[in-house]
Amino acid sequence: MWNYKKLGGAAAILILTALAAVTYLLRGGFHRFETTPYLLRPPAFRNWQDVLANPRNISLETFKTGVVRMDACLNLDPESPRQADCDHVPRDLAVFVHCIRHPHLGDFLIDTGFDDSFAKHPPYGNYTEAMRLFNWANGVSNRQDPGADLGSQLARARIHPKAVFFTHLHPDHTGGVPALEAQTLFVFGTTEAGFLARAAVANHFSDKSKFSSIDFSGVPVMAPLGPSVDVFGDGSFWAISVPGHTDDGIAYLVNGTTPVLLTGDASHFAWAFRAGVAPRGWNKAGTARGYASLEQLRAFARAYPSVKLIYGHEKTDS
């Protein structure tokens, strides 16, 4: 009996230690996002041929706010037979922020990249302890040149964003949030802010309170892509459901003079897109959804080769 009591006490100590460790790792803003539904407007067009035949007066500018240095293949499906063909040498992956400027509605961002903490406190900036540990364990580091941070670049370009539309809630896409004003609206997919996402990025939103979510569940599919939302209702800016890498990832199409499809991390870089290797998800089911989303994006690129592609961490001239 004494041995059972001793074992029970040891188990209790281990459980308390584990809980304390989890609390420590998740501290710094872990909370639920109180969101309101994003208002879905009637779409101006019902198919991509009509969308692209009617470009709008909307512009896109892309900023690089830093780099993530890592084996890019680390974020791909680890069970893909094409992993053997992927260059596993660590490389610099760009951390992007995209600014869209609408002539009547104003300025908006897609993702936020890094704030200046990554230059001041390298290599992990404002990452939580959990993300620092994850990055260290996987040989991932971050770098930022002084003045490349989100706040500095917005000031130089005189951009005052009304809202940020996220591709997904990962810290290399939300790290610039602290540089934005408290009244900025933050928009993401309805099921995106799950446990792991909140554990990874909630500290970035600690003084923010305006959150809205796009619900793709009742949105019509626009083949060859999935459910697609005409964000402003004028055909200029589209949000496209691409779950897989995260639960409710979003790609965006900016329908300007030169239309641009921003894949987000539904495809991190050009090699993976061309080879048809999906990003890894939270689990195998997520990775499977990632393949479905990737194939839709690839089918769209084949059908509409005039659309420029910008991947989650690589910008090309195509």
List, in sequence order, the alpha helices (H) in 148-279: 150-157, 171-174, 195-201, 270-275
- 253-303 pLDDT, tens digit each: 999 999 999 999 999 999 999 999 999 999 999 999 999 999 999 999 999
Distance (Å, rounded) from C-alpha 106 to C-alpha 296? Answer: 30
Q: Is the pLDDT of residue 20 over 70?
A: no
pLDDT of residue 6: 46
Structure confidence by residue, pLDDT tens digits, 54-113: 999 999 999 999 999 999 999 999 999 999 999 999 999 999 999 999 999 999 999 999
> Over 60: is that where the pLDDT of 1 sits?
no
C-alpha span between 154 and 244 (Å, rounded): 31
**pTM, full prediction:** 0.91
Confidence band for 24, pLDDT divided at 50, 70 and 90: very low
pLDDT in the model for residue 186: 97
Strand locations in the chain (E) = 35-37, 59-70, 91-102, 106-110, 141-143, 161-165, 185-189, 211-214, 228-230, 237-241, 250-254, 260-264, 308-311
Question: How do residues 100-127 score in pLDDT, each as one tens digit?
Answer: 999 999 999 999 999 999 999 999 999 9
* Percent of the chain's residues with pLDDT above 70: 89
Band (199; pLDDT cuts 50, 70, 90): confident
For residue range 152-195, list pLDDT tens digits in order.
999 999 999 999 999 999 999 999 999 999 999 999 999 999 88
Domain boundaries, given as residue ranges, for the chain? 31-311
**Measured between alpha carbons, how far is 149 from 169 in angstroms, rounded to an integer?**
18
**CATH 1.10.10.10 applies to domain 31-311:** no
pLDDT in tens, 214-248: 999 999 999 999 999 999 999 999 999 999 999 99
**Helix, strand, coil share of the chain (percent; to 5):** 35, 25, 45
pLDDT of residue 7: 45
Full DSSP string of 96-114: EEEEEEETTTEEEEE----
Which pLDDT score is estimated for 294?
Answer: 98
Residue 2's pLDDT is: 44
